[in-house]
Amino acid sequence: MKSLRSQLTIAIACIAALAIAGSMAFSHFAERRILDELGPRTLRGQTRILLSSLRVSETGKVTLEIPGEWKEFYRSPGVFAYAVYDADWRPVALSSNIDKSPLVPMDFNTLLTERRHDGFVECTMAVVGGHVLVVWRLSYSAQEALSIFFQEQKVQVLLWLASALLLVSIIWMIIGWHLRSVQLVSQAADSITDFDSPVRISTDRIGTEVVPIVEAFNIVLDRLAKCHQRERDFASVAAHELRTPLAVLDLRLQRAEASGVIDWLVVRREMGQFRHLLDQVLRLARNGPANSQQETVCLSQPLREAAELVMPEIERAGRALSIQEIDQPVILGNRDALRSMVRNLLENALVHGVGQIRAVVKMQTSPKRAQAILEISDDGPGVPEADREVVFERFRRGTQNSMGAGLGLAIVRDIVAAHAGKVLFASSERCCVRVIIPCAANERFM
């Protein structure tokens, strides 16, 4: 059963049924206990009343003038009955609720005494004229007692059953009313068909228990909308950026076709720029699951691997690269993504910087945490403070005529963010990019 409403209704109904059954059992046993305690006294009282109403005529006929409030009591089946016996123990008078008298012990020595015989509780009294009045309380088997109980409590049992049905109905309606919030949330969620839709699920008409779920759902929708918008912007800008070098290359080929002369050096340079742009677009697209397949990595390892890849280009440009490993910090991350991050920083320094490129790996510790720090710097001027955030946006170039595609620092930012770190431009006279990533737990050094 998957319906929460049905499950709650059944659970509460079972509890209510147990409570009703318990109250019925308590009432029954309490009534039996009271009868057990008051039975002998009641029998003696009835014996005295019946004795005062007993009349024996001159002919020996026995009659009982039972008071009005007792007539109905002895007329209908119940737990009490009486009989009058003559000297030969022949019944001469019986209550109308029995057809024959049970055998009773012939003991006339004790008056107003209670005795048990064959399942009956009796109270006997010797009377004038040799007659004996016997009043007894009938005892039943468990099945008979239950039947008599339901006969006597029929109205009460029916009321209890009706109350139980009414209670279940009320519980069903109350739970349905409270779960209406879930239905409203479901309907509102179905109405949202587009990530870009500004519609969100309102929390005005729903229960407080459902509000956290709705708020979390709205947050997820906002994140999806931002991601969707960012990807659309990325696709639009990427298409524009790819169209520009293609248009330039197409124009050069048209001119070469018209003149019959092809400047292969220029074509190769523009093809290299186009290839570099494609590589960075693919690299940025692959950085989505940068936090998958994580392992403990010493930050010096991806630095050395990236330097080995970029070193031929650095030497071809007549530049130099120095690596200083002050510490050996260990972080939890994806080794390939970290290598891509360092490579983009080195290429950014190669394309936009001047002079020697310096890479420094160190660690910053405090009583609460340890952080791995990577700094890539060169001799070029620092980035103005007003531009230190915007340069990390996608397709943002340092200058309009820059050879870069404007994706390198965006790739770096995404990878660092996937490793719970941050990247920024250090406030210094030289251009210096600083990457800060938390060290792995209990893994500070190799």
Please tell me whether the overall predicted TM-score, pTM, comes out greater than 0.85 for this model.
no
Give which of 411, 426, 414, 422 is closest to 378, Cα–Cα: 426
pLDDT by residue (tens digit) across 376-397?
Answer: 999 888 777 767 676 777 555 5
Domain count for the chain, please give it: 3
In a domain, 236, yes or no: yes
Mean pLDDT of 347-371: 88
Helix (H, G, I), strand (E, B) or coil at 364: strand
Of 72-76, 183-187, 368-372, the range with the lowest mean pLDDT is 72-76
Give the CATH number, domain containing residue 403.
3.30.565.10
| pLDDT at residue 86 tops 70 | yes
* Same domain, yes or no: 99 and 35: yes
pLDDT for residue 356: 92
Show the tokens assigned to 219: 């947050």
The answer to whether residue 125 sits within a structural domain is: yes
Which of 2, 10, 1 has its CA nearest to residue 175?
A: 10
**d(C-alpha 160, C-alpha 45), whole Å:** 34
pLDDT band for position 77 (cuts 50, 70, 90)? low
Among the listed residues 341, 335, 361, 339, the one whose alpha carbon sits nearest the alpha carbon of residue 414: 341
Where in the sequence is the domain holding 70, given as residue range(s)? Answer: 4-154
Q: Which of 18-32, 139-153, 381-395 has the lowest mean pLDDT?
A: 139-153
Model confidence over 224-283: pLDDT tens digits? Answer: 887 777 777 667 656 655 666 677 778 778 888 888 887 888 778 778 767 766 776 676
CB within 8 A of 107, min separation 6: which ones?
115, 124
Q: Is 277 inside a domain boundary?
A: no
**247 in any annotated domain:** no
